[in-house]
A = this chain, B = another copy of it.
Amino acid sequence: MATPAPARQRLDRLRDSALTDDIEFLNARARALGSATFNRLLEPLGLRVRSYSVLACACGGLAPTQRQLADFLRLDPSQIVSLVDELESAGLVRREVDPADRRSKIIVATDRGEEVYLVAQRAAREAEDSALAPLSAAERDQLRALMRRVAFPDDED
């Protein structure tokens, strides 16, 4: 009962590689695991991880400009264009000219966008729940708090 299988044993040796301590690698692997299930849950809604995050920002009256979306989501402005195009042609989001600056456009969710977002949010919770399954509730909060500071290094506390 020592070792389940020889193949498994070999993989354990890789677990001893230096990568196991490499936060970049752990991040990549966790994301590979997580976003796969997330995208699968989002598929029936016609959304993907990236369009979901844009939609989330467009809801609740946040009314961001595309530039602000690009900064916040850490995406190239050109990517925002196609994501908003996609959401707009799906009727979930609207482009409005910023009255304060006619160059920029404000993204707001339509009524249908808000509805879809509520459903998508449930999918997000479900995906997250399965991704963080190995962790207790307290540990999840801890991880979230740490990741938040890594993801937003400019916010000095």
Question: Contact residues of A with B, CB < 8 Å?
Answer: 7, 10-11, 13-35, 38, 49, 53, 56-57, 60, 62, 64-65, 68-69, 71-75, 121, 124, 127-128, 131-135, 139-140, 142-144, 146-153, 155
A133 touches B153 (CB 8 A): yes
Considering the chains assembled together, what is the distance between the CA atoms of A22 and B73 in angstroms?
A: 12
4 nearest A-B residue pairs (beta carbon): A32-B74, A26-B147, A29-B151, A30-B151
A23: contacting residue among B128, B152, B155, CB under 8 A = B128
Chain B residues, CB < 8 A from A24: 31, 34-35, 38, 49, 124, 127-128, 131
Chain B residues, CB < 8 A from A133: 153
Q: Could you tell me the dominant secondary structure of chain A's interface residues?
A: helix
B153 touches A147 (CB 8 A): no
Given A26-B148, A64-B10, A131-B150 in contact, is the A19-B53 Cβ separation under 8 Å?
yes
Shortest Cβ distance from residue A69 to the other chain B in the assembled complex, whole angstroms: 8
